[in-house]
Each structure stands twice: as structure tokens, then as C-alpha cells.
Amino acid sequence: MENTAEILSKKSFDDDKYTILLPTYNEVENLPIIIWLIVKYMDEFGAPYEVIIIDDGSPDGTLDMAKKLQSLYGEKKIILRPREKKLGLGTAYIHGIKHATGNFIILMDADLSHHPQFIPKMIELQREKNFDIVSGTRYNHGGGVYGWDFKRKLISRGANFITQILLRPGVSDLTGSFRLYKKDVLQNLVQSCVSKGYVFQMEMMVRARQFNNTIGEVPISFVDRVYGESKLGGSEIIQFVKGLLYLFATT
């Protein structure tokens, strides 16, 4: 039998439900760990949730792993919405949103850089202030980055710093993607964003400010991916700068 505290805390979510979108490309080692952690922290927290895994034809067997996890944790909790081939993160989000049954959506990476322990904190802050968006931040309130070399830290810090000066978005971590959104707010943002690649996350925050969306921040510790290849290269940086200048000129 449930105790009173449990009944009260569950009841207080009313019709709220949280959809966690997990886009994956070659995350076969990371997926079982991230799912285990999500289930652990979300079950403890007691909020209704579902996880939608969007795998883009990963050659390493991520989808087979996802199927195993689905049979382990159940089809209500783990939903699979795979696509045939690698079509990019932006459209993976759009694809996931279409299938989401929650009124809140959490975007996070599946490579263990984003720890699920921060999801309840984001939800609590959202509920406290009714924010449209709660953004995880590495660059304020005691958040941090672990495992990156100097070059990568410099690039990330530099991108944030320049964007702060040019666009003044009022959010401390612009290039991160660990965020909670009201579903309609996210839909509106995704539809209005034009950029692809790293600049996409930043554009989301710039547009959010344009639309007067309210944004809260929760400090996160970001850990570099343990398994799998990192893809940040020179062309990504050039793309980011181009996107930044485009936004500077047009917003």
C-alpha cells in the first residue's frame, strides 16, 4: 500500500507527463547505462515519464540493444522510434516530439555526458516558477565540465562568450543541449530554427528570448563521453561562427 506522502506527491503531478527524448547514433555501450540511470532517478522522483529512443540506423547495434531494454523495462516506459539512416539531431528531435505523449519534453544526449540525476532538479525548478524552459548550465551556479582538454574547453567557453556579447540571450550555457521544455514551446522553437549542427542549440535560446519564453537554469556537471567517438572538428567550428553571425545579423 502507498503511504500518504507517496499519494500526495503522485497526485500533485495531475496530468503532467515528462517525455525524455534520447537520440542515438552508435551508443550501444552507453544506452543500457543511461536508461538504467533514467529509470532509477525518475522512479525515485515519482513523476510520470516515458523515454523515446530515436536511433538513426546505428551500425553498432544500438537499436537491438534498445529493443532488449524495452523488453526489460516495458513498452510504456521505453518507446522506440527509429529511422532508417543518420538524418541529424535537429530532425531527430522533431521526429521524437511528434510521438511524445508528455506535455513536457526533456532533451538529453545518450552518451553519459548528461547525468539523469539532474532531471528531477529541472522538473522541480520548472514547477516552482512555471518556467517555459529549464536549461542545464555548465557555466553558472556551480556547474562544470569534466574530461575535456584545454582546446575543447576554450572552444566551448569562447563560443558562449562571443554569443553572450553579440546576442545577449540571458542564458549562461548556450551550446549545451540538456534542457526541459514545455512541449508547445519546444515545438514552436524547433519550427522557427534554421540552423543545423552545434549552432542549433544556441539558436534555440536566442529564439526563446525573441518569443519571450521564460528560462530557468540548473547547474549540471558535464562529463566527456566515455565510449564512442567525438565529432567536434574544424568544420563544426566554422559552421558555428557562420550561424552566429547569421543570427547576429537577423535577430
What distances in angstroms separate CA 102 from CA 1, 50, 98, 155, 192, one per listed residue? 27, 8, 11, 35, 21
Site string for ligand GTP, 94-133 (x = CB under 6 A): ---------------xxx-x--------------------
Min dist. Cβ of residue 189 to ligand GTP (A): 18
Min dist. Cβ of residue 48 to ligand GTP (A): 23
Alpha-carbon gap, residue 248 to 214, rounded angstroms: 21
CB burial readout 206-236, b (16+ within 10 A) else e: bbbeeeebebbbbbbbbbebeebeeeeeeee
Min dist. Cβ of residue 231 to Mg ion (A): 8
Task: Give the residue with the Cβ less far from ligand GTP, 90 or 131.
Answer: 90
**Residue in the block written with cell 525524455:** 20
Q: Is 111 in the site for Mg ion (CB under 5 A)?
A: yes
How far does CA 174 lie from the centroid of its chain?
12
Q: Is 113 in the site for Mg ion (CB under 5 A)?
A: yes
Residue 56 interaction partner, one of ligand GTP, Mg ion, none, beta carbon < 5-8 Å per kind: ligand GTP
Q: Is 81 in the site for ligand GTP (CB under 6 A)?
A: no
Task: Give the residue with the Cβ less far from ligand GTP, 131 or 205.
Answer: 205
Answer for the pair 147, 223: CB distance below 8 angstroms, yes or no: yes
Q: Is 200 in the site for ligand GTP (CB under 6 A)?
A: no
| Stretch near Mg ion under the rule CB under 5 A, chosen from 30-38, 70-78, 87-95, 107-115 | 107-115
236, three cell numbers: 563544426
Q: Rounded to a whole number, what is the distance in angstroms from the first to the last CA of the chain?
A: 55
153, three cell numbers: 574547453
Residue 196 interaction partner, one of Mg ion, ligand GTP, none, beta carbon < 5-8 Å per kind: none
Report which of 87, 83, 80, 89 is spatially closest to residue 190, judged by C-alpha positions: 89
Min dist. Cβ of residue 114 to Mg ion (A): 8
Looking at the DSSP assignment, which residues form a beta bridge with residue 117?
none
Q: Is 177 in the site for Mg ion (CB under 5 A)?
A: no
What distances in angstroms separate CA 4 from CA 9, 11, 41, 58, 142, one per listed residue? 9, 10, 21, 45, 35
Q: Which residues bind ligand GTP (CB under 6 A)?
A: 23-25, 27, 54-56, 86-89, 92, 109-111, 113, 225, 230-232
* Residues engaged in binding Mg ion (CB under 5 A): 109, 111, 113, 225
